[in-house]
Chains A and B, each alone.
Chain A
Amino acid sequence: QKEVEQDPGPLSVPEGAIVSLNCTYSNSAFQYFMWYRQYSRKGPELLMYTYSSGNKEDGRFTAQVDKSSKYISLFIRDSQPSDSATYLCAMSYRRSNYQLIWGAGTKLIIKP
C-alpha cells in the first residue's frame, strides 16, 4: 500500500463548478500538507500549505486537513478553464523536512 493515495482521474467538470480533490494517507505522523499544481509541460508549483488539522483559504482555493480520518482535500470554487492542470498532494513528517511524500496527482479538466 502506498503511503499517500490519490485518484489519478481525469476529473472533468464544467466551468463554474466546485471541484473537490482528495488524498488519503496511512501514516499518522504526517504533520505538514501541501498541494502543488502542475500545468502541462511544466514543473509543479506550490499552491497551498497547511499544518496539522483545519482549513486554510486563499482566494478560490480551500485546503482542508482531517487528521483523524487521514484525509486531505483541496476545494476550488468557481472553477475556470485556467485551473485545468494536474494537482499533486505532498506531505512531510516535520518542519523543514526536505523529503516530501507525494501523491500520484489528479488530472483536472475544466470544460468551458
Chain B
Amino acid sequence: DVKVTQSSRYLVKRTGEKVFLECVQDMDHENMFWYRQDPGLGLRLIYFSYDVKMKEKGDIPEGYSVSREKKERFSLILESASTNQTSMYLCASSLSGRANNEQFFGPGTRLTVL
C-alpha cells in the first residue's frame, strides 16, 4: 500500500511565523504535490515537484515555497504565515507514466494561523 504521511494533523501558528509542513511518501513516486483545500473552492495546487530539486508553481504559489532534497520528502514552507493561510493542506504523490494519473494523498494538516 502506498503511504503518504504528513508531519502534523493539526497546527496552530501565529501571524508572521515561519511554518514548515513535511510530507513523506514510501513508494518511490517521482511526482509530489501540495494542495490547499477550502470549503467551496476544492483542491487548489500550490506547488508540485516532478523530480528531486525540481519544482513548478501551481495555481496559488504566493506566500509559499517548497523544498525537495530527497525523492521521498517534499516540504511546504510558509515564509511568514498570515491568517488567510488558515486552511487544510494536503500532500499527494503519483507515479510518472501511469495513464490514470492517480494521486495518493496524505491525511492532511489543518493549519490555523492566529
Interface residues of A (CB under 8 A from B): 6, 8, 32, 34, 41-46, 49, 51, 88, 92, 95-100, 102-105
Number of A-B contacts (CB under 8 A): 66
Interface of A is mostly: loop
**19 A-B pairs whose Cβ atoms sit less than 8 Å apart in the complex:** A8-B39, A34-B100, A42-B105, A43-B105, A43-B108, A44-B90, A44-B103, A92-B101, A95-B99, A96-B96, A96-B97, A96-B101, A97-B101, A98-B33, A98-B96, A99-B48, A103-B42, A104-B41, A105-B42
Asked if A99 and B40 make an inter-chain contact with CB atoms under 8 angstroms apart, the answer reads no
Q: Which residues of B contact A43 (CB under 8 A)?
A: 4, 90, 92, 105-108
A49-B100 CB under 8 A given contacts A98-B48, A104-B42: yes
